[in-house]
A and B are shown apart, each in its own frame.
Chain A
């Protein structure tokens, strides 16, 4: 119940900001569009290029909104209160993660395959792209949130965050793209898909637990 109330509050804040809540989506479409237009001769011949473009843009979009993940709660002191109680901090953290995923992950998961279909991708391949994004976006949110939590309150976001996170994103990116590519080439992709699931389960179980202590540390200093 507590979680649901917190989630509603977070989502309400997200959508109260009006046009601003569409920035990640517009960014996603803008970057995919720029890539697709400049690489159009490659994309029309090979669906694998578009898959890679959509996956990479997903990473960028996710990073873009990470910066503000804990910023407001740190500024108004919510975080300082929440870290005093382990149950409270866990609830806060899980809500934050789910909200971030709802605002960036879910729309991209839906939008990615649509962009693929509109650019002439085969329906099955677009479906697989959506499926890998569904597995990949929560993992991306988790890893990003962990690194963001390390930097809470330092007044340093942006490019520093990007440099720290991008190397950690490489496995999920490559496995996600691999699954789609192997599927397009009608080869077996079971092991790559299992790796994606392994990364998903590993990050979703370990990171929410680690975030509490990390955030507590950020409030001590």
Chain B
């Protein structure tokens, strides 16, 4: 019982965070890379072609996990925003700034791989489908967070502004999804169903779960690596950073 609060508490201080986190990042990278390779090779070579879409459905194994994790990153930024507003925790602010670019890239990647997938299956790269539009809006929300971080000069104010925008955005995400879905079903009844009428068979599911888990792990690694950079940038005057710069430790 005592173990968990101790390491969590250590990570909440920038100095200990910086000292401890490098090995964590390496482990996450290794684990995530192995998982991603296993899941992708499995999905590319060892899963039978899907009945309706043939082989192009294999894009699912990179597309779906990334889209899923990107959404989750936004929610997590909003949670960090609440933590920042309530407890004024410095690392929560660092987390928000570190996670926003990662989420932005992953959202863009999900859109891009979706477009590639759309070409053979729908015959066009882009349709104004509910999921695509809500992902596009998510991209703009991430973009807004990054821009807001850049334009506010005072760091305390920037962090609070970021928290508020992230929270309002996160409240909006489910509503945006519902509103877009309802709006779309109003106008173009059931044009595209990703999997037709088949339920996803377990053969297809295992590599998907492996890849979802690996993308989680990799994204955590990316965010921690960004946080490590930000910790150095913001604490440059501290003696422990100065020591690291002179090459005395770490």
Residues of A within 8 A of B (CB): 143, 146-147, 150-151, 154, 156, 160, 163-164, 166-168, 170-171, 174-175, 177-178, 181-182, 192, 195, 199, 210, 214, 217-218, 220-221
Which B residues lie within 8 Å of A181 (CB)?
A: 186
Assuming A146-B168, A181-B186, what are 8 further A-B pairs, CB within 8 angstroms?
Answer: A147-B165, A163-B147, A167-B144, A168-B169, A170-B137, A182-B186, A214-B161, A221-B154
B180 x A164 contact (CB < 8 A): no
Query: Residue of B at shortest CB range from A210?
Result: B164
A164 x B148 contact (CB < 8 A): yes
Pick 5 A–B contacts, CB within 8 A, sort by A.
A150-B161, A151-B152, A171-B176, A174-B183, A220-B156
- In order of increasing CB-CB distance, the 7 nearest A-B pairs are A221-B154, A174-B179, A171-B175, A150-B161, A171-B179, A174-B183, A164-B144
A185 to B205, CA, bound (A): 41
A-contact 0/1 string along B209-240, CB 8 Å cutoff: 00000000000000000000000000000000
Which B96-148 residues sit within 8 Å CB-CB of chain A?
Answer: 137, 140-141, 143-144, 147-148
B157 at the interface (CB under 8 A from A): yes
Majority SS at the chain A contact face: helix
A143 to B172, CA, bound (A): 11
B151 at the interface (CB under 8 A from A): yes
Band of interface residues on B: 20 to 34
Which B residues lie within 8 Å of A167 (CB)?
A: 137, 140-141, 144, 169, 172, 176
A-contact 0/1 string along B161-203, CB 8 Å cutoff: 1001100110010011011101100100000000000000000
Asked whether A166 and B140 contact (CB < 8 A) given A150-B164, A154-B152, A217-B160, the answer is: yes
Give min CB distance, B92 to chain A, whole Å: 16
Query: Residue of B at shortest CB range from A176?
Result: B179
Which A residues lie within 8 Å of B161 (CB)?
A: 150-151, 214, 217
